[in-house]
Amino acid sequence: MNLVVVSNRVSRGKPNEPMTGGLAAALLPIVEKSGAIWVGSSGRVRDGNQKEPFAEVEALGAGALAMLDLPAAHYGGYYEGFANSALWPALHSRADLIRASQDDYLSYREVNAFMARALLRFRKPDSAFWIQDYHFLALGAELRDLGVAQPIGFFLHTPWPSRSVISGVPHHSELIEAMLAYDLIGFQTDEDCENFLSYAQADLGLVVHDGVIISRYGRTRAAVFPIGIDPQQFAQLAAKASTHPDVSRLRRSLNGEKLAIGVDRLDYSKGLINRIKAFDRMWTLHPSLARTASLLQIATPSRGAIEAYGNLQSEVAKLVSDVNGQHGEVDWTPIRYLNKGYGQAVLAGLYRAAQVGVVTPLQDGMNLVAKEYVAAQNPVDPGVLVLSKFAGAANELDTALLVNPHDIDGMARTIALALSMPLTERRMRWEAMMAKLRGQTIQQWFSDFTDALRESRHYSVELAPVMTEPALWPLRSATTGGVRYH
Ligand code: F6P
């Protein structure tokens, strides 16, 4: 099978380049090893109506990376607009933050259609397409409209919310109908998958049986594929990173003080405000932890052109400064706050230098930082993971200290507990988490999904001819002005 993987963001695989987000970090090793073609945005835009979309193609391990310049007229409406101001807040159950204009939606559909046209040049008779994430919900339908009959799968890296929340997205039914062009749709957790199936059944009125949705496209299977990491490779990276200058400078600066670490994109779903409030509360409740335990919070700037992100950046910066002003001493800073990204090679070393990893999102698809923190630990003296029960990772890493990120006092108590946990308990919890990571690696995720995709296409096509009545109708109304009958 010739696999074409598609995502908005790609990574060029330079070990010291900062990596934004879990998706790019996760896909990189599998593209390098499997020989797939990975197609995504170059981060640049281009004017005019390109007949042949411009792509820069380079080798990536055994595979290749193709970076496309997206259309300038639609990029903002697609990325900052519909994808990150309508879909992202809805997918993270923040319906109050949904902002989307009709133009944004049209741009989103245009970019999906543009990507579909660009993908044709990578198509071979035995190709399969694997589309990643919420930027490309309608890409499968666009490919089918262009006559692509090969298997097309989709994996959602974020959560999928309840029916009432997703219904807050303008054009939700049209978009979700379009998703049924996929043969296989993968989710991170059972809850995400159930929410999706229940929308298909109750809101679209479709037949759903045993995780399979029947529509005019044939069958779409929805299933759960929790994404993993390569724990062995990450552990090696962490062991090697101890000599990295940033890591050794950090260790030296600690003077025996304990360290908690948080590494997140600066995003409202990550729960940064509540986390910092929890540390504030902890130093108030346990004054003995002042000077003996501090927080290193790396918050990589993200989507700065969107108002909600700009506001968050100022709010977090102010809170950090208030807390440092309140608890700091002439020779002690409680929170070291950094607004920049780090490469995997340094991050692995920073995780290993920290006795506690704090991963406390309000909602998160999986959260690979949680998994990487665990994999980076020194087996003879591992740190403790404090993990939100609303991160997908909590389903597997259930021997972490699970917290409710809305309960500031509870988090403060749990972080204090983590900082003083005895070695035997730390090892017991860590070993159980490592066993889970070893059982569900990124390689396993890749082969589980691609095997299931092959099988799903087979069943989907087999059923298609027996469908007499189309269940759902042309999905092009918004972009073309065509009529919708549904
Ligand atoms: O899971 C969602 C995701 O695709 C992750 O890769 C990452 O956390 C984020 O979104 C990437 O965001 P952006 O590409 O907008 O920086």
pLDDT tens digits along 320-340: 999 999 999 999 999 999 999
Quick check: 16 pLDDT over 80? no
| pLDDT, tens only, 354-406 | 999 999 999 999 999 999 999 999 999 999 999 999 999 999 999 999 999 99
Q: Is the pLDDT of residue 14 over 90?
A: no
Q: Which residue's CA is the closest to the ligand 1 atom numbered 11?
A: 21
CA atoms within 13 A on the CB side of 396: 27
Task: Kindly give the number of the ligand 1 atom that is closest to the alpha carbon of 302.
Answer: 16
Output the average pLDDT for the chain.
92
Instruction: Using the mean position of ligand 1's atoms as its centre, give its distance from the Cα of residue 461 in Å.
Output: 32
CA 89 → CA 42, 45, 274, distances in Å? 24, 25, 18
Task: Report whether pLDDT(486) > 50.
Answer: no
Of all protein residues, the one whose alpha carbon is nearest to atom 7 of ligand 1 is: 21
Which residue in 92, 157, 172, 327 is the catalytic one?
157
Q: What is the rounded distance in angstroms from the CA atom of residue 338 to the CA atom of residue 252?
A: 18
Residues 6+ apart with CB under 8 A from 387: 359, 360, 367, 370, 393, 394, 397, 400, 401, 402, 403
User: What is the number of the ligand 1 atom nearest to the C-alpha of 24?
Assistant: 6
Output the ligand 1 site: residues, CB below 6 A. Answer: 8-9, 20-23, 133, 157-158, 265, 302-303, 365
Can you give the three-state secondary structure of the chain, one letter per residue?
CEEEEECCCCCCCCCCCCCCCHHHHHHHHHHHHHCCEEEEEEEEEECCCCCCCCEEEEEECCEEEEEEEEEHHHHHHHHHHHHHHHHHHHHCCCHHHCCCCHHHHHHHHHHHHHHHHHHHHHCCCCEEEEEECHHHCCHHHHHHHCCCCCCEEEECCCCCCCHHHHCCCCCHHHHHHHHCCCCEEEECCHHHHHHHHHHHHHCCCCEEECCEEEECCEEEEEEECCCCCCHHHHHHHHHHHHHCHHHHHHHHHHCCCEEEEEEEECCHHHCHHHHHHHHHHHHHHCHHHCCCEEEEEEEECCCCCCHHHHHHHHHHHHHHHHHHHHHCECCECCEEEECCCCCHHHHHHHHHHCCEEEECCCCECCCHHHHHHHHCCCCCCCCEEEEECCEHHHHCCCCCEEECCCCHHHHHHHHHHHHCCCHHHHHHHHHHHHHHHHHCCHHHHHHHHHHHHHHHHHHHHHHHHHCCCCCCCCCCHHHHCCCCCC
What is the average per-residue pLDDT within 460-468? 54
Instruction: Tell me the whole-structure pTM to 2 decimals.
Output: 0.93
At a CB cut-off of 8 Å and minimum separation 6, what does 142 contact? 112, 113, 115, 116
> What's the one-letter identity of residue 28?
L
| Contact assessment for residue 401 and residue 385, using Cβ atoms and an 8 Å cutoff | yes
Q: Give 20 Cα–ligand 1 centroid separation in angstroms.
A: 7
CB of 319 closer than 8 Å to CB of 273: yes
Mean pLDDT of 39-43: 94
Q: Residue whose CA is closest, atom 10 of ligand 1?
A: 21
Tell me which of 265, 303, 363, 369 to substitute to probe ligand 1's pocket, judged by most ligand atoms within 8 Å of the beta carbon: 265
pLDDT greater at residue 464 or residue 455: 455
Minimal CA–CA distance to 264: which of 320, 323, 341? 341
Taking residues 103-128, report their average pLDDT: 96
* Cα 159 to averaged position of ligand 1 atoms, centre (Å): 12
Q: Do you know the residue count of the chain? A: 486
Range with lowest mean pLDDT among 47-61, 303-317, 461-475: 461-475
Sign of the Cα pseudo-torsion (376, 379, 380, 383, in order): positive
Number of Cα atoms under 13 Å in the Cβ half of residue 222? 28
What is the pLDDT at residue 216?
A: 95
Model confidence over 238-254: pLDDT tens digits? 999 989 999 999 999 99
Of 58-62, 83-87, 220-224, 259-263, least confident by mean pLDDT is 58-62
The pLDDT value recorded for residue 464 is: 56
pLDDT of residue 420: 98
Q: Which of 17, 20, 187 to mutate to test the pocket of ligand 1 (most atoms within 8 A of CB)?
A: 20
Q: Give yes or no for residue 48 having a pLDDT over 80.
A: no
Q: Is 364 marked active-site?
A: yes
% of the chain with per-residue pLDDT over 90: 85
Question: Is the per-residue pLDDT at 71 higher than 50?
Answer: yes
Least confident of 166-180, 434-448, 471-485: 471-485
Look at residue 130 and tell me whether its pLDDT is greater than 60: yes
φ/ψ of 202, rounded to 5, equals -80, -40
